[in-house]
Amino acid sequence: MLKGINKSIYILLIILNIIVITIFTLSRIYSYKIFMGLYWLLAPVILLVTTYLLKVYSKSGLNVDNKKSKVIQRSFDDITTVTSVIYILMYLMIVFLDLTIGNVTSNFYVQLVFMIFTLIFETIIVSSIIGTKKQTKKLIEKEFNKKK
């Protein structure tokens, strides 16, 4: 199901998540600022990798039927866009509060909630890609069987 570059992007996303969880744990154990800085540095990197994954998938999307393919693609675009915008706004709000108030990014609960939200964001994106692939596959099979 996963081929070439798609598989490497998924693997990169998994490795980044493992690194983020490790850095989060180390920042709680040792309380070094370097771990907290790395944690907040990797958040936009995860966003960039996920956005690249969306770009790669959107390029390789299939148009089988003008009406039904557009409905599938539109629902995929809507879900991923809304989720990405909410994630970006949450990150920017945390950075803004850290600049105005200070020490927001070093708060344990802010880091924990943001890490959980990051995992939810990635789960929604990956599950929407898988769901869209399944819907497109069913549509292809239906159109192919109709032509026979």
Q: What digits encode the pLDDT tens for the residues 1-34? A: 445 566 787 888 889 889 988 888 888 888 777 8
Judge if pTM exceeds 0.75: no
User: According to the model, what pLDDT value does residue 93 have?
Assistant: 92
CA nearest to 111, candidates 90, 131, 129: 90
| Confidence at 50, pLDDT banded by 50, 70, 90 | confident
Residue by residue, what is the 3-state secondary structure of the chain? CCCHHHHHHHHHHHHHHHHHHHHHHHHHHHCCHHHHHHHHHHHHHHHHHHHHHHHHHHHCCCCCCHHHHHHHHHHHHHHHHHHHHHHHHHHHHHHHHHHHCCCCCCCHHHHHHHHHHHHHHHHHHHHHHHHHHHHHHHHHHHHHHHHC
User: Which of 28-32, 45-49, 132-136 is least confident?
Assistant: 132-136
